Structure formats: C-alpha cells, structure tokens
Structure 1
Amino acid sequence: MTDATRPRRIPSQTRSIERVRRIHAAALALIEEGGFDAATTTAIAERAQVSVATLYQFFANREAILEALIGGQIEILDRRMAEDMAAVRVDSVAAAVEVFLDTHNAHYLEHPQFVVLYYRSRYRSRGVNVDVQAHMDRMVDIIETVLVGGGLLPHSTDRRVLHVALELCDRIFEMAYRSNPTGDDAIINEGKIALTRYLEAHR
C-alpha cells in the first residue's frame, strides 16, 4: 500500500468501524455482481448506505478501498498457506505441489471476489503490486522451507528457481479462472504436472 492510497483515517469508534465494514462489504458485493469496474466510489457509497463524503473521510479513492480488501485477503491466504504446508508432511515434490495448489484453489473457491481483485487490480494499482510482491516473497519462503528444508531440493537451489515456480503457479490460476468462476480443474491439473516437472529438474 502506498502513502497516496493509505487509509486517511483509522476508525476507532464503533460507528466508524461499522461504516468501514459496510464500505468493504459493498465493494466486494459490487465486484462479485458486476466485476472490477462496477465498484466505483459512487456505487460503493450507495450500496454501503453512506455519503460519498463519508467514504472519502476514510479512503482517498477507490484504489485505497480495493488495496485494503486485497491486503486483508492476502493476509488470510498467507496464514492459511503457512498452516496447511506445515500441517502436511510431504515426501515428494509432486506432493508439495499438490498441497500448494490445492490450498490456493480452495481459497479462491471460497472467496471468488479475491480472484477478481487479485488478477485485475494488481495491474492497475501500484499499491496492490507492492502488497502482491510481498505476498509472493512470503510464498517463496514457504516453498523453500518445504522443498529445500525438507530435503526435496538441494540446499544450493537458487531462489530464482522458486520465484519462477511461483510465477508459473500464478499464471496457471489466472488461466484457470479467466473464463470460469469456479476454475478449470483440467488446467489446474495440467499446471500441477508442469510445476512438478520443472522443480524436479532442479533436484
């Protein structure tokens, strides 16, 4: 999140917290119903039953609202990924890839608005890009812990290999959800094969 889109005012009173919650919920509902472009500040304010002036008390612009939403979703996904990867003992690269992609897919299915936010706003907002890059770095840390720390890849493995693997994962899901709101399982399964083969080539 950049300074330009950082929340103007941090809500502390119950009424203010509720207004911000309604603004977030309104933005998510509009995105789910009409896509990214449907979530204008005017439409968000109307759906949240607040004035546009009230909305601007908390957020500098629409991008600030969307950045707050995607930042919250990324935090949830990061925690979930760390927990799932730590809870499952994997004994092969293929098994690690399976857990990694399945956890991502489960989150996308449970939070369909996140897919729109993640894959549309990241190309329009510098602040979102900053948050996404931090998220990608954390994902690489998790992959490194599981694959390198678990002895599935050598300790000499260049982190760039893991970054490439994560970018491939990102593109696989973008392709799978591009025209299918519940994802294309065939594409995801093909992606698992591609990622597994790529990583196994570096053993």
Structure 2
Amino acid sequence: MTQQQTAEASNGLSPSGILGAVTDGQTYKNLLYLMIAPLLGMFYYIILVTGFTLGLGLSVIGIGLGILLLTLVCTRYAAGFERRVANRLLGTDIAAPDDLEQEENGIVALAKAYIGASSTWQGLAFVFAKFWVGIVSFMLLVATLGIAIELLLMPVFPNGTLDVTVSNWEVAQSFESTAEQVAAVPVGAVLTIVALNVLNAFANLNATIASALLGPTTGE
C-alpha cells in the first residue's frame, strides 16, 4: 500500500472521513451503481444460463456451438459495458483489454480468438459474479439505507415509507407512539451515515474487482 493509499484509508476512518460520505458526490454515484446491480445481475444470469444450457444441449447437432460462441460474444459486450459503468460511476480508470488476436478471417478464426483471449474468461467471471453482487447489493441497501430512511421519515410517514421488513421485523410497526417516532429520527440519521460508509466500502470492493477482471491482463 502506498503512502497516498494509506493516507486515504486513514482519512476514511477518521470522523471527518466518515461524516464526509454524506456530502461526497462519489457516494451517490456508488449508490446508483449498487442500485442497478441487481437488475443487471439478473439480466446477465438469464443470458448466461440460457446461452450455455442451449449451447451445450444442442452442441451435438452443431448449432449449439454457434450459440456458445454467441454467448461468449455477448459476454464480452457485457464486460465492456460494465467497464464503462465502473469508470463512470465508481471512479475507476480501466482500459479496454487488447488481447483479442484474430489471425485469419472467418467464424472459426473468430471463435479461436475469443476462446484464446484471457479477457473473455475474466469478463465471463465478472459478468457471472454480477448476479451474486446484485443480491448482496440489494440486501445491503435494504438492511442499511432502507431502514435509515424509514426511521428518518417516521414522524412524517408513521405507517412507513418503504415498508421495509427485515427478518419478519416491520420497521414502521415498531414505533407506535409520537414520542417513539420522533426519537427514531436521530437514530435514523446516525444509521444513514453508517449505511453510506458501509455501501461506499462495498462499492470500493466492486471497483477493485472490476479493475482486476475487466482491464488488460498482466501480459499485455
């Protein structure tokens, strides 16, 4: 870890760094990234499962090989899209890989190029993992920020704003009296700060994974 990274980490753990998550514009880009992750993850999962299932099942009659190749092509496009999203929302600077070497023209040469490129398999790993990342993102958003917003707005919406329920615990139904609802506001404010820092940390982990899997390989 460099001195700059150490300083940034120390600042992130300081009171000013923790409170700064509220006013930092990057925080809300991180939130947007995490909010769209479940939808993208589900979409990618459907494409991958459908493509590989049909491709392997029909490979004995030849058409399956074409489906498998098309699935790999779609995976590379998805990885490219994810790289641009990460650069735009997570603040990364990931360059596009340049290891797709097609020596001849034709579908066979293209297939060999896709299969031989390490970026194809790294992108496949990232796109497949996006489904699980989306699930974790959704759980963290609900369990942290969802509850915080519910508590913050309790006096205005006593019956709940988002109807957040965690493990059969209905947040809004736990604060019945006016005094309890007012007391929930400062708790919600503190939880909001905690939630933003937790979500920032998870977004930073996503940025690290994206940089490792979506950029040029070490040998390039």
Query: TM-score, normalised on structure 2?
Result: 0.30
Structure showing greater relative contact order (alpha-carbon pairs closer than 8 Å, 6 or more residues apart): 2
Specify the structure having the higher radius of gyration (Cα). 2
